Structure 1
């Protein structure tokens, strides 16, 4: 608030204390330090990007919307590289196939 008009205008959510973009290496250090303090395994910052897409898709967000959020130019990139399928999703899909067969036997 003290900087008001002097604060650089940007689209960044997280910045340095003076409003400039955080160097990617420093951002990685911040995340890894927080993980260590929380007793979590060390993760790459980029892993959060993969996780975000998986969560969005699991919540039923349309793939095209997830693609726009990530800033990908193709849906293929979003789905093939970032769209991980969980074991529960695989089971649910196979259960649906099983339901088809059990309905046909009635």
Structure 2
């Protein structure tokens, strides 16, 4: 899996700043993970969800499952014009049909936006001083 360079930089920085190995002493065990327990082991999914829920509550945010963070990522990728097959791979969906179904509302909104932009271009009054948004003059 690939990550944006900025994410990789932040993850490396986070790993470098882990101070838990100093406080864990002989209990420290290197797991190779970036996000770890105080003894260096991988974080249990239940504890991750509990901590995530606490962050949401403290921030006054709507409670969602950690897994739901995938949705805004896929939505942003679709809005930036990423191919459905690439998003399917990133989300580890079995088929593009799954991705297309889950994000159909985003695709419909993008289609409406494209249609509205086309409508604006076609509705341009040629007597206006402003040039059309797109296209060429037909003689």
For normalisation by structure 1, the TM-score amounts to 0.67
2:6 corresponds to 1:7: no
Q: Tell me the secondary structure at the aligned position of residue 88 of structure 2.
A: helix
**Structure 2 residue runs without a partner (length 5+):** 1-17, 23-28, 125-137
Aligned-residue Cα RMSD (Å) equals 3.3
What are the Cα deviations for residues 14-61 of structure 1, in whole angstroms up to 9, with x where unaligned?
A: 3434232422x3222111111111121212222211222111111222
Larger RCO: Structure 1 or Structure 2 (Cα < 8 Å, ≥ 6 residues apart)? 1
Aligned residues: 100
Of structures 1 and 2, the larger Rg is shown by: 2
Deviation, 1:102, is 3.5
Match of 1:33 among 39, 48, 54: 54
Seen in structure 2, the aligned counterparts of structure 1 residues 14 and 64 have a Cα distance that, compared at 3 Å, is: farther
Residue of 82, 85, 89 corresponding to 1:64: 85
Give yes or no for contact 2:78–2:107 (8 Å, CA) kept in 1.
no
Whether the 8 Å contact between 1:28 and 1:44 is mirrored in structure 2 is yes
Residues 37 and 19 of structure 1, relative CA distance in 2, 3 Å threshold: same
